[in-house]
Chain A
Amino acid sequence: MEKPIFDYGVNTTRRHFLSKLSLGLGSAALGSLLIPDLFKGGGGEPDVNELMAGLPHFAPKAKRVIYLFQNGAPSQLDLFDYKPMLNKMHGQDLPESIRGGQRLTGMTANQAKFPLAGSIFNFKQHGKSGAWMSELLPHMAGIADDLCIIKTLNTEAINHDPALTFFQTGAQVGNRPSFGAWLSYGLGSENQNLPGFCVLLSRGKGNGQGVYSKLWTNGFLDSVHQGVQFSSGENPVLYLNDPDGMDRTQRRKMLDNLAELNQGTFNDFGDPEITAKVQQYEMAFRMQTAVPEITDMSKEPESIVKMYGPECLVPGTYAANCLLARKLSEQGVRFVQLYHQGWDSHGGLPTEIKGQCMDVDQASAALVTDLKQRGLLDETLVIWGGEFGRTNYCQGTLTKDNYGRDHHPRAFTVWMAGGGIKPGIVYGETDEFGYNIVKDPVHVHDFHATILNQLGLDHEKLVYKHQGRRYRLTDVAGKLVKGIIA
């Protein structure tokens, strides 16, 4: 009973005390060596906001990222990877030589046969690069000259949770900081009135898989870097407006007083979470004026509505999120992430994927065009893709016009636009079965390294020491994919 009371009385644990002592004394000594008049009195500088700290390591091509994440894994064989061999061998078993012992999910592990399923959709070539795209994506086909289509993404994860976690945090184990959190840590936010990392969710009618806050967590980084999830309803940021009867000056006074109280607690306990909390309150205060301007869709001109499709005015849809993403990015939000659920077509793929594509095709293409016509595409990196691909063999019963596909991590397609990525090319090749990679593989780590490079960060230098080792987004791997960098 004595020790807890003692600890409370001292207001600190042994660890805190010793580390504070040694760091404090040491840094004081060093400081006085480097700065001759350190111990002189004088007006202190105002606290530089943590979020302003970071600078890129070298001149960046892109300043912001919009990541259109297609949750559930869209079928690359029905969208981007044209494999007529599959149509020719429709119904035949997948040769073991091609499969090469790839592990299967629990869903298809008990299947006796793996009949190949050719896509029932027509493919055509588009753009100067002659990129193949199916009839499901007419609008994306229209901007083929702006896209860099990478067909050879690969990952080790075979199920959604580890694969999603891998893509968002750089490791299949959870609780590492997410991409946006690393960027917030490394570069800070451009606009102090908005969070640096925003997450927008939408749901398609297809078979959906969940998304969860682990994917935009700050992990072991400061909680200031956490992604802010916008709600899908009429008010994207809940509880942002002052309650009736309270106006802004009152709010300001309240926050000032609250900050004083919190500062007192911080002086007692030294918990950095307290300062983080104070900063979040301040950010929310600034967001009160900045956000309504952005989320007000009623003033959008008709040309914009036509470009994104009328769905863009219905809050909570993918199109609305794309429009909101453009607006947020335009205002300096560093990383905007969209999740569109419903791509997990284990069965009934033709119907489900049609619905999904109707949801995303026009709006994704519109987003790229919209950024381009504002002169922002060069400094904004737009990414579209899922967490893995789908198999070339059918899951469940295969009929002439209906099939399902299981998860396939070995090769799948992701496209990127803007942000200093080469436009109008197709990178990488898969074999004629669409199963293995033949040329230029791009692993998730390589993908992350390249994106960080475009933002002016050396992926090996953006580290954070935690539990004795220096963590980074690309863990211990990752090579730049030079072939897609313009």
Chain B
Amino acid sequence: MSRILSDWKGYVYNIAFFLNGLLVFLLFFESRFAVPQWMQALGRVHPLVLHFPLVVLILYSLWVMIVRKPDSHTWNEGLADSLLVIGTFTAAVAAFSGFVLSHEEGYESDTLLWHKWLGIAISLAAVVWYGARKSLLPWTVGAKVVAGAFLVLLFVGGHLGGNLTHGEDFLISPLGPSAEPVQHVAFEEAKVYEHLVKPVIEQKCLSCHNEEKSKGGLQMQTEALLKKGGKGGKLWDTTKADLGLLISRLHLPLDDKKHMPPRGKVQLTEEEVVLLAAWVKSGSRFDQLVSSLSPQSPVYSYAQNVLGGDRTEEQYAFSAASADEVQKLNTNYRLIKPLSAGSPALFVNFYNRANFKNQDIEGLLPLKDQIVSMDLSKMPVKDEDLKALAKFPELRRLILNFTDITGGNLTELKKLANLRELSLSGTGITMAHVKSLEGFPALRRVYLWSTGISPQDLETLKKGQKIAFETGFRSDTLVMALNPPVITNEKQLIGKGETVAMKHQIAGTVIRYTLDGSEPDSSSSPVYEKPIAINGNLKLKARAFRKGWYGSTQVSKLFFKEGFHVDSAQLITPVDQRYHAKGAASISDGKVGDTERVSGTWLGYVENDFQSYLFFKKPVKASVVTVSTLRSFGSFIFEPTRIEVWGGADPKTLKLLKVISPGVPAKDIPGTENIVYEAGFEPQQLSCIKLVAKPLAKIPAWHAGKGNKGWLFVDEVIVN
């Protein structure tokens, strides 16, 4: 045993020699060499084994390079000798296994060829060197030359091998300019394949599926190659449920052997898998623009995340302006501010038309290299000022809504190479000027609402062009109903000299009204011109009309003429405690017409009649007594069944002057309304008036409360 061990070098060398011989033999018959399955494992140890010859032989060569003729020739010689034999042996194993590996799928390229032959050269040369080591003593020049050559072979061959596994620029790529993971392409111009799918393939697939190394016979670096597919066939098949090879492999569980990318390599993110699946499902087109997709599509949302959405946070190439300068030019009416903290870009807003001077634009020129957005809406900007605006090269957005421009000099703005958005709503520009906008280099969006351009011309603009035109709301074809006029009187009791007035907010409207309770119409009813004087109680109904609009709905209100001042009133019968308001005072307090039963102006009676006296210190010449009541069947409030008006000089000498019998209602009337009864009689001097009103004793059958007592509500009695 010990003999074998002490002789180990010999054995090792022999094995190496054998392997090299076998290798040379196989090289001659390479074309007929097919690797059996079991032998593939042998090939696969190559990445493992190759490290040994590299290290060992480099070590040995370095030693040879630096060693001098020693005092004792046994110095390190034993170790060095062992190194060489080990190196030779492992080189042979590596070369052999490399040879076997090279016959596996996916390795066909120049790099491989060089690496292979260099590797074989190293192996053979190593065997020869070991054999001739006695004549090539380490400290001789010859040996050093050989060692140097070896180093070169090892480094170059080794590096090429590294290229095969990791890609060409693996070593230095982190040092170079950072690879743009996101190309700064504008969203509107982004293409689905070019800017979304391709980066994913480049990052995650290309390292094994390229020209140098094409696993599975698949190369993915160009459109044509992708379409061609690999050994497994085409990459996608939209007729299949799993969408074909590419997507199905992506969707396999990580443990699965066929899962792509292989375990241990950088995996695709979930969003990237969704992106590729959606791309394949929609036909794996190479020419599609992202902007043509629907916002619902997952590709669209992926694009928004990766490309930064509709508006990428723009990286500005200019540096910030001096803060002093900005501060100096900032006024209450011309606001200059950076877009955000730390951003060099500035935006300018103008306010208050009266304070605007045309020099205000020129005054901003010191900041012309930083201003990206200007809002001049409603300012008296004229066509001449456009020349000044053209001096701001960094402008991306210009708002000229409702300025005084008419389109002359608009072409001056063509000089603005960055101008993307232009708003001209409310200006006097014409169609010809709009056509000239086509020539603007960067213009993408134009707003043209409320200009002099006819709707027909605007229609022609809508076809999909480079510039998106926003034309806004079209109102010329719209007919709507007016809102009703407003009756400006707050209270409904009109005194002497007071009038009833109405108005309407929309200028040019005609208000037509009636006083007799009929419906106002647009042709026959009187037109309201000035406030109406009131002679008696009147019911005002009014509607508003205007050319080009439908007539409004009706507004109506009840007005009472103020009567004689009542010195005192007295309630003869008790009022119901739930609706006692202010007692007797309520019926002559001037508050009338409110239809809210709980408002506190109504007196309610259910158990007994309403009976009251009205006293006048000085006799009045009365001819009509007006009683204001409430009708609200839903709240069980009914009209009185009988009203009696008595009058005389005092309570003892009263004569019955008038009786009104409204009777029992026959059917339901919804809603709440103020019902007024006017009891007229011979004009006569009266000092005392007695009023009797009887509530409905028994609610008729058609009502929900049939059989019960109905309510009577009174709020005012007016004597005229």
B179 near A: Cβ within 8 Å?
no
| Interface-centre pick from B345, B423, B472 (highest chain A CB count, 10 A) | B472
A486 engages B340 (CB within 8 Å): no
In the complex, the answer to whether A375 meets B399 with C-beta atoms within 8 Å is: yes
Q: Chain A interface: which size bin?
A: 35 or more
A348 within 8 A of B: no
Name the A residues within 8 Å of B314 (CB-CB): 59
Tell which of B154-162, B305-313, B529-537, B641-649 binds the partner. Answer: B305-313
In the bound complex, do residue A303 and residue B483 qualify as a contact, i.e. CB atoms below 8 Å apart? Answer: no
Known: A310-B483, A375-B421. A56 touches B351 (CB 8 A): no
Contact B332 A193 (CB under 8 A): yes
Using known A-B contacts A289-B352, A305-B506, determine if residue A58 contacts B313 with beta carbons closer than 8 Å: yes
Contact B340 A55 (CB under 8 A): yes
Q: What per-residue 1/0 map shows which CB atoms of B417-432 lie under 8 Å from chain A?
A: 0000101011000000
> A60, B351: Cβ atoms under 8 Å?
no
Tell me which residues from 336 to 354 in chain B have a Cβ below 8 Å from any Cβ of chain A. 337-341, 343, 345, 349, 351-354
What are the interface flags for A360-382 relative to B under an 8 Å C-beta threshold, 1 for contact and 0 otherwise?
00000010011011110000000
Report the separation of the CA atoms of residues A425 and B301 in the bound assembly, to the nearest whole angstrom.
12
User: Does A400 sit within 8 A of B, measured CB to CB?
Assistant: no
Residues of A within 8 A of B340 (CB): 55-60, 456
Q: Nearest CB to that of B552 among chain A residues? A: A310
Q: List 19 A-B contacts (CB under 8 A).
A: A56-B339, A56-B341, A58-B313, A59-B343, A129-B296, A301-B450, A303-B473, A303-B476, A306-B478, A332-B335, A372-B470, A372-B472, A373-B470, A375-B425, A375-B445, A375-B447, A425-B295, A425-B296, A456-B340
Please indicate the chain B residues that have their CB under 8 angstroms from the CB of A314 in the complex.
483, 486, 505
A374 in contact with B475 (CB, 8 Å): no
Given A366-B473, A424-B295, 20 additional A-B pairs, CB 8 A: A55-B337, A56-B339, A56-B341, A57-B340, A57-B341, A129-B296, A190-B349, A191-B335, A192-B332, A303-B476, A310-B506, A373-B470, A375-B423, A375-B425, A375-B470, A420-B310, A422-B295, A423-B295, A456-B339, A482-B305
Give CA–CA (A309, B505) in the complex, Å.
12
Interface centre among B309, B341, B343, B473 (most CB of A within 10 A): B473
Chain A residues at the B interface, C-beta cutoff of 8 Å: 52, 55-61, 128-129, 190-193, 286, 289-290, 293, 297-298, 301-303, 305-307, 309-311, 313-314, 330-332, 366, 369-370, 372-375, 420, 422-425, 456, 482-483, 485-486
Whole-angstrom CA separation of A424 from B297 in the bound complex: 12
Residue of B nearest to A282 (CB): B332
- Evaluate contact between B475 and A302: CB separation under 8 angstroms: yes
Main secondary structure of the interface of B (DSSP, over half): loop
CA distance A483 to B271 in the complex (A): 13
Q: Is the CB of A373 within 8 A of B449?
A: yes
Residues from chain A with a CB closer than 8 A to the CB of B125 are none
Q: Does B701 contact A (CB under 8 A)?
A: no
Bound Cα distance from A314 to B480, whole angstroms: 16
Residues from chain B with Cβ under 8 Å of A330 in the complex: 377
Q: Are A303 and B475 in contact (CB under 8 A)?
A: yes
A374–B425 touching, CB < 8 Å: yes
Q: Looking at the complex, which one of A55, A302, A374 makes contact with B341 (CB distance below 8 Å)?
A: A55
A128 and B294 contact, Cβ closer than 8 Å, known pairs A59-B340, A310-B482: yes
- The residue in A59, A330, A332 that gathers the most chain B C-beta atoms within 10 A of its C-beta is A59
Assembled-state Cα–Cα distance A370/B475 (Å): 12
4 shortest interchain CB distances as A-B pairs: A373-B472, A375-B423, A373-B449, A313-B505
A307 in contact with B423 (CB, 8 Å): no
Binary per-residue interface labels of chain B (536-569) against chain A in the complex, 1 for a CB within 8 Å, 0 otherwise: 0000000000000100000000000000000000
Contacts of B351 in A (CB 8 A): 191-193, 290, 331-332
Complex alpha-carbon distance, A61 and B399, angstroms:
16
CB < 8 Å neighbour of B311 from A61, A370, A483 = A61
Chain B residues near A482 (CB-CB < 8 A): 305
Contacting A at CB under 8 A, from B445-497, are 445, 447, 449-450, 470-473, 475-476, 478, 480-483, 486
* Cα of A374 to Cα of B422 in the assembled complex, Å: 10
B339 in complex: contacting residue of A60, A190, A313, A425, CB < 8 Å: A60
Enumerate chain B residues within 8 angstroms of A313, measured Cβ to Cβ.
483, 505-506
- B423 CB contacts on chain A under 8 angstroms: 374-375
From B305, B311, B470, B480, A310 is in contact (CB under 8 Å) with B480
CB of B291 within 8 Å of the partner chain: no
What A residues does B341 contact at CB under 8 A?
A: 55-58
